[in-house]
């Protein structure tokens, strides 16, 4: 079969392989237990503040965030803090990660995937990996996240910085059509 010249120029094969990885980013699949009355997901089993599934991580703070439909919250960046994110399976959030650590094995790498959307998992985001989220649902989206550094709004002790939402290009936030 021969395609028209315009179709030949636009033709591409969609990748179904795994997305590129960023060194230090970890995804932990969680078990969701359901019965006739609902469901329960165990987020973490702690031993002295250490989650069994996240070696070397100590929980110092637990936060809850809401993101309005269609909103993009990006990019957050920490020098010391590790985040561990959880989005409930009933929500649908696009997570974008960018490795901006100079000299890292995966410097410049990007990860882009959906959290929630029927799945229960944790994502560990190490310091130096910029992270942002877009709510893809028609209702407010929720994020529960654990940190290993206490939040401080004081400029002298604050560990949270920002990069512009379009730092990696505005198209990274678009829903893939095709």
Residue 138 confidence class, pLDDT cut points 50, 70, 90:
very high
**What is the count of structural domains for the chain?**
1
| Residues 59-81 pLDDT 10s | 999 999 999 999 999 999 999 99
3 domain-assigned: no
145 domain-assigned: yes
| Closest to 131 measured CA to CA, from 103, 89, 95 | 95
113 domain-assigned: yes
pLDDT for 178 beyond 70: no
Tell me the residue range of the domain where 132 lies. Answer: 26-165
Phi first, then psi: what are they for 10, rounded to 5°? -90, -15
159 domain-assigned: yes
Q: Distance between CA 129 and CA 105 in Å, rounded?
A: 12
83 domain-assigned: yes
**Which single residue is written with the structure tokens 């960046």?**
77
| Residues 93-131 pLDDT 10s | 999 999 999 999 999 999 999 999 999 999 999 999 999
68 domain-assigned: yes
Cβ contact 146:84 at 8 Å: yes
Give the model's pLDDT for residue 86. 97
10 domain-assigned: no
77 domain-assigned: yes
Q: Distance between CA 95 and CA 128 in Å, rounded?
A: 16
| 33-48: average pLDDT | 90
The chain-wide mean pLDDT, for the chain, equals: 93
**39, two tokens:** 């469901």
Q: Distance between CA 164 and CA 114 in Å, rounded?
A: 21
Identify the CATH number of the domain in which residue 137 sits. Answer: 2.60.120.10
């Amino acid at each position: 079969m021969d395609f028209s010249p315009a179709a030949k120029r636009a033709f591409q094969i969609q990748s179904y392989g795994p997305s590129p990885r960023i060194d230090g980013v970890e995804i932990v699949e969680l078990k969701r237990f359901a019965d006739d009355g609902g469901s329960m997901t165990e987020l973490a089993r702690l031993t002295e503040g250490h989650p069994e599934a996240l070696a070397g991580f100590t929980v110092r703070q637990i936060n809850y965030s809401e993101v309005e439909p269609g909103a993009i919250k990006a990019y957050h960046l920490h020098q010391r803090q590790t985040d561990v994110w959880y989005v409930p399976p009933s929500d649908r959030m696009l997570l974008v990660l960018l490795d901006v650590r100079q000299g890292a094995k995966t410097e410049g790498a990007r990860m882009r995937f959906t959290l929630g959307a029927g799945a229960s998992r944790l994502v560990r985001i190490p310091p130096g990996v910029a992270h942002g989220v877009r709510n893809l649902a028609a209702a407010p989206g929720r994020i529960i996240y654990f940190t290993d550094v206490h939040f401080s709004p004081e400029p002298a002790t604050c560990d949270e910085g920002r990069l512009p939402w379009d730092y990696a290009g505005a198209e990274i936030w678009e829903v893939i059509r095709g």
